[in-house]
Structure 1
Amino acid sequence: MTTTPGTPDWLSANRANWDERVPIHTAGPFYDLPGFVAGRDSLRDFEPAEVGDVNGRTLLHLQCHMGLDTLSWGRRGAVVTGLDFSEPAVETARALAAQTGVTSARFVAADVHDAVQALDGQTFDIVYTGMGALCWLPDLTRWAQVAAALVAPGGFLYLAEYHPFADVLGEDGRTVAGDYFRRDANVYDEPGTYADPDAPMTATVTVEWLHGVGDVVTALAAAGLQVEFLHEHDRGHFRLPAEQGVPLVYSLRAAKAG
């Protein structure tokens, strides 16, 4: 990855980039949309086990992209809402909901920071956020306040996310190549996406942040949620060449008092 000096309008840059990713992700094999429509599940095996029975419960998926994880929860019986800042992604999610027959699904186009207003103050039994979401947000305190406001009394937030420790390792999976404690914006200018590194794109600039696990826990606790568990896992979408003993993913559940 190459970095460029200065921080552009991060929200506009990131939205433009994700808008352009949608047709690439829709057409390519990484997300395998035909397989998903045919019944493939997109959730990691530990997620349903840690979340528990969702049948009949309301579930909000923040930063849902094209809605595969959202609809996977819907297939398990949850009444699902997905929210994402990319209009093309939301349009794709709505089409997938129709194709998969998850008729209870609703998708809303809005920035995550505006979710309370965009959802008319509705609260949910479960607020879910999945892989690769938090790195696009500069302020975890603000995010946690929004997320906590969306959790109904007696409900909980469940987060499954890439482990920030893995983000500082080099391509060999062992060498430390980054600074775990850096909190400044990382600005990248490169074409392609993780789903297709060679895909031609015009909106190539993105802005990301690294958030330590302690930052996440502290932000949620300050927002009034009680952390019930924090688990670390050695598996995820992306696998390092030498992954033994390296946490790749972590999951967290934090409850709101009833």
Structure 2
Amino acid sequence: MTSESADREQWIEANRAMWDERVPLHAASALYDQAGFRAGRDEIRGFEAAEVGDVTGKRLVHLQCHMGQDTLSWARRGAAKVVGLDFSKPAIDVARDLAADVGLADRAEFVVSDVYEAAAALPDEDYDIVYTGIGALYWLPDLWRWAETAASLVAPGGFLYLAEFHPFLQVFGWHSAREVVEDYFRPEPLVTDEPGSYVEIEAETVDNLSFARLHTMGDIVSAICATGLRLEFLHEHDVTVFQQFPELVRGEDGMFRLPEGRPRLPLMYSLKASRP
């Protein structure tokens, strides 16, 4: 095993342990609101639904699906088959239970696998829609290898759809969107060893070491285009799914924005890349 391979293995295994421990926190949290999901709440954001379009009869795979609520929401919207993949077995166990609870076990399958091994782990070799995002790319050690993996799963006539937090936000750190405090170009890994979770900052946790990388918009688009997929659009959005900064306010649609009168910033982006 090369030094690079060993470093990547350490990265993945540390992150897996961190996520495994946090699954019970997330499953019980108000943010994920699994009781509401069981009662019929849809996890798909309005802009995602509009951009992806009608999924009736489609085969969809969701990479890095965590506990599968987005995955199952696409099944509720009519996808003929959905498959969720995540490297955390506790997260996949929760997803499988949810699928059974909401009556979708016949159309939803969940697979435990690292995303880089997806091609070998998934039940089908390609899909009409490869869906991913919402905090997924941040954890990847190798963006280009991820793009190759994701593109390999897109069936002829299908597409990759990605919705993510905008990388520009990394210049503000995590405290306020008022002052630039960080370098946008940070190719070195970000190593964190702190307890808690984004659903419960004060939670007492043990497996706290994690590795991440801040990929620029240029790298993300370039990696996807290098696979041979055709970029259909890149859209930037002034809304996000959680209160990343204290000054963000929640609207009636459940999305968070900067308050009225503040200059708007790109908080999320989405892109679609197709295979002819």
- TM interval, shorter chain, is over 0.9
**1:81 paired residue number:** 83
Structure 2 runs not aligned, ≥5 long: 1-6, 249-257
1:69 counterpart = 2:73? no
**1:95 paired residue number:** 97
Asked if 2 retains the 8 angstrom alpha-carbon contact of 1:7 and 1:187, the reply is no
Q: Which moved more, 1:208-217 or 1:115-124?
A: 115-124
Query: Which of 1 and 2 has higher RCO (CA within 8 Å, sep 6+)?
Result: 1
SS of alignment partner, residue 169 of structure 2: helix
Within-5 A mapping of 1:108-257:
108-119=111-122, 122-170=125-173, 171-239=175-243, 240=245, 241=247, 243=258, 244-257=263-276
Structure 1 residue 130: deviation in Å? 2.2
TM-score by length of 2: 0.88
**Aligned AA for 2:164?**
E
SS of alignment partner, residue 172 of structure 2: coil
Asked if 2 retains the 8 angstrom alpha-carbon contact of 1:37 and 1:96, the reply is yes
Structure 1 residue 7: deviation in Å? 9.2
Q: CA-to-partner distance for each residue in 1:38-59, whole Å, 9 max, x for gaps? A: 0111111100100000011000
SS of alignment partner, residue 168 of structure 1: helix
**2:253 paired residue number:** none
SS of alignment partner, residue 179 of structure 2: coil
**Aligned AA for 2:144?**
T
Q: 2: CA distance between counterparts of 1:133 and 1:172?
A: 22
Q: 1: CA distance between counterparts of 2:123 and 2:54?
A: 26
Structure 1 residue 230: deviation in Å? 0.3
Q: 1: CA distance between counterparts of 2:214 and 2:108?
A: 31
Q: 2: CA distance between counterparts of 1:230 and 1:87?
A: 33
State the number of aligned residues: 252
**Aligned AA for 1:222?**
A
**Aligned AA for 1:87?**
K
SS of alignment partner, residue 97 of structure 1: helix
Q: 2: CA distance between counterparts of 1:9 and 1:39?
A: 39
Q: What percent identity do the matched residue pairs reach?
A: 56
Q: 1: CA distance between counterparts of 2:180 and 2:75?
A: 39
SS of alignment partner, residue 88 of structure 1: helix
Structure 1 runs not aligned, ≥5 long: 1-5
**Runs of 4+ residues deviating >2 angstroms:** none
